[in-house]
Amino acid sequence: MYAFREAVLALFRHPVSSLATLTTATVSFTLLFIAGMALWNLDRAIGAAEGELEVAAFLAPGTITSVLLDEVRGWPEVAEVRLIDKTQALKTLIEAYPYLREASELVANPLPDTLILRLKNPQAVSEVARRLANLAGVDDVEYGGAFTLKLLQISRTVRSGAIALILLLILNTFFSVMGTIRLSIENRRDELEVMQLVGATRGMVLAPFVLEGLLLTLVAALVSLAVGILAYRYLSQNLQALFPFLPILGPSDLLIAAEALLALAAFLGVVGGWLSSRAHLKEVEG
């Protein structure tokens, strides 16, 4: 109880510094939350695009499909391969476009047998497509890899930038907390020295500053969550309206992100307060 009371009083002993740290931490946590959610959404969208990436090999008439299937199944990049014969392909096309039924009765089936490949690693799509095109019996190869590969490249760039931003925000908050705790220690230097002289334990000296750091970061995190969740919901709803096919993170994901942010805030506050007060004790004892 003593430590908590002293931590609260310390926030009001230097209100300007406390408010500055609280504001800095709130802005940092808000940006960190939004950047983290954006990065998570991007990863999910990329994962969905990778899962749907397929390579189609159109076969020449008379090709022995069993030989091709056996060869392609042995490639290490291939996760799955299936054959769609021309009859099945025409049936699927007519189901999608019923008005073609009459035309299909008048002419021979023009569709080729097709091999559909799903890859273990989307990065290998260009190499697999090139190798397929060189196989005997393959007339043409198509895949949506160009778009997906471009999306992957953009994702890596965005991810690197987001991670760098997140690290800077974390460091900014951490050092801001340490600065505020250091100011609290300076304001109470004489009092702390007296406490140590009369036998106060390390825990009694350190605890108020650790709790002060914890209070600063947790309050900032709670405010940033209120702002960040509202901003995310607004942005995600508008984005979902424009692109209904995009996978958007839902309430359960928001809860996980909120818990992670609170845990990070608690860690920064506790460690920042502990390091600052421990440094003071070393100075006094040295």
- Using one digit for the tens of pLDDT, what is the confidence trace for 171-200? 888 888 888 877 777 766 666 666 656 655
Inform me whether the pLDDT recorded for 203 exceeds 70.
no
| Mean pLDDT in residue range 145-171 | 77
- Return the pLDDT at 135: 84
Q: Do residues 96 and 201 both lie within one domain?
A: no
| Token duo for residue 140 | 């043409």
- Return the pLDDT at 200: 58
Domains identified in the chain, total number: 2
For residue 227, CA distances in Å to 37, 237, 253 come to 13, 16, 17
Q: Express each pLDDT in 29-47 by its tens digit.
A: 998 898 888 888 877 777 6
Residue type, position 109, single letter: N
CB-based burial, 79-88: b 16+ in 10 Å, e otherwise: eebebbebee
Q: Do residues 59 and 100 both lie within one domain?
A: yes
Q: Do residues 244 and 213 both lie within one domain?
A: yes
| Token duo for residue 112 | 């080729």
Q: Do residues 163 and 219 both lie within one domain?
A: yes
Q: Do residues 25 and 62 both lie within one domain?
A: no
Reported as half-sphere exposure (CB side, CA atoms, 13 A), residue 281 has a value of 17
Q: Do residues 92 and 205 both lie within one domain?
A: no
**Tell me, what CATH number does 59's domain have?**
3.30.70.3040
Q: Do residues 236 and 276 both lie within one domain?
A: yes
Among residues 117, 143, 169, the one where a domain terminates is 143
Q: Do residues 128 and 261 both lie within one domain?
A: no
Q: Do residues 12 and 38 both lie within one domain?
A: yes
Contact 32, 166 (CB under 8 A): yes
Give the whole-number percent of the chain exceeding pLDDT 90: 8
Among residues 82, 111, 143, the one where a domain terminates is 143
Q: How far is 9 from 243, CA to CA, in rounded Å?
A: 50
| Mean pLDDT in residue range 19-34 | 87
- Return the pLDDT at 285: 52
Among residues 143, 167, 185, the one where a domain terminates is 143
Contact 282, 274 (CB under 8 A): no
Q: Do residues 39 and 165 both lie within one domain?
A: yes
Q: Do residues 159 and 233 both lie within one domain?
A: yes
- Return the pLDDT at 132: 83
- Domain interval for residue 174: 2-49+149-285
User: Cα-flanking dihedrals φ and ψ of residue 144, to 5°?
Assistant: -95, 30
For residue 278, count other CB atoms closer than 10 A to its CB: 15
Q: Express each pLDDT in 64-97 by its tens digit.
A: 778 788 888 888 888 788 888 777 766 766 666 5
| Mean pLDDT in residue range 102-112 | 63
- Return the pLDDT at 239: 76
Q: What's the whole-number average pLDDT of the chain? A: 77
Q: Which residues, including other chains, have CB under 8 Å from residue 250's CB and lie 6 or more apart?
A: none
Q: Do residues 39 and 58 both lie within one domain?
A: no
Q: Express each pLDDT in 218-261 by its tens digit.
A: 999 999 999 989 988 888 888 777 777 667 777 888 899 999 99
| Mean pLDDT in residue range 105-114 | 69
Helix, coil or strand: residue 53: coil
- Return the pLDDT at 208: 80
